[in-house]
Amino acid sequence: MWDLDPAAAFVVFGDQDSGCVSYGVESAGRRWFVKRAGTPRARESLTRALGLHAAVRHSALVRPELVRDGADGPTIVYPWRDGVVLNHATVHGSDRSGLARFQRLPVAEVRAALDAILDAHVAVSAAGYVAVDLYDGCFLYDFDARRMWLIDLDEYRLGAFVLDSDRLPDSPSGWRGTTVQRAVVDRATRPDPAARHATVAALVRDWRAS
């Protein structure tokens, strides 16, 4: 029997800007990350997350092991993964200390982490899904194991759609890759969709060749 009582949590992630309520708890001899909706919008997001994880398999994705349905929407239980979220965003602001630490890693380690992200998104694309709201808050990096995990992919959508939300600027002044790699990134982010790579797989091929 799983005991997911939030009163027994060893850590609580409060004031999340996603509208979700999340916490870590120990049960059945293991640690778990429990996530449930606190708003109607969050319920929709968690339902989308379940669809994504049902369709996509990749070693970098932290997949749920238990789902409990309730009047307030699903409660999703993930295996606990050690690491640091690179951008811990709350309604009060963002803690980017993990990102600052990650940016100080050797370029080779950063590239290995990026490879995991790219490979996962080849699988995401192959399943017909589109990445939405992918940012450094979705990256959980285990500095000891040098392993990247992808989390909180709740906004990913099945099929193409029009993005009508604000866009974030890039930071070219912080670029540490090569000129050829930068050209690949520039093409991938051109304003005209027709000028970008046709598929995620094509982007990854260009990146690996750079």
Query: Distance between CA atoms of 25 and 8, rounded to whole angstroms?
Result: 6
Indicate whether 3 pLDDT > 80.
no
From the CB of residue 155, how many other CB atoms can be counted at a distance below 10 Å? 18
Query: Distance between CA atoms of 197 and 111, rounded to whole angstroms?
Result: 20
141 part of a folded domain: yes
The answer to whether the beta carbons of residues 87 and 137 sit under 8 Å apart is: yes
155 part of a folded domain: yes
Determine the 3-state secondary structure of 47 from DSSP: helix
Averaged over 118-129, what is the pLDDT?
97
Query: Distance between CA atoms of 208 and 119, rounded to whole angstroms?
Result: 11
Query: Distance between CA atoms of 210 and 206, rounded to whole angstroms?
Result: 6
179 part of a folded domain: no
pLDDT tens for residues 28-46? 889 999 999 888 888 999 9
For 15, 136, 147, the CA distances from 114, given in Å and listed in that order, are 29, 11, 10
84 part of a folded domain: yes
pTM of the complete model: 0.86
pLDDT tens for residues 43-89? 999 999 999 999 999 999 999 999 998 888 899 999 999 999 999 88
Q: Tell me the pairing of strands 129-130 and 66-70.
A: unpaired
12 part of a folded domain: yes
3 part of a folded domain: no
Read off the CATH number of the domain in which 139 is found.
1.10.510.10
61 part of a folded domain: yes
Q: What is the pLDDT of residue 53?
A: 97
Phi then psi for residue 37, to 5 deg, are: -85, 140
Number of domains in the chain: 1
177 part of a folded domain: no
Domain enclosing residue 80, as ranges? 8-168
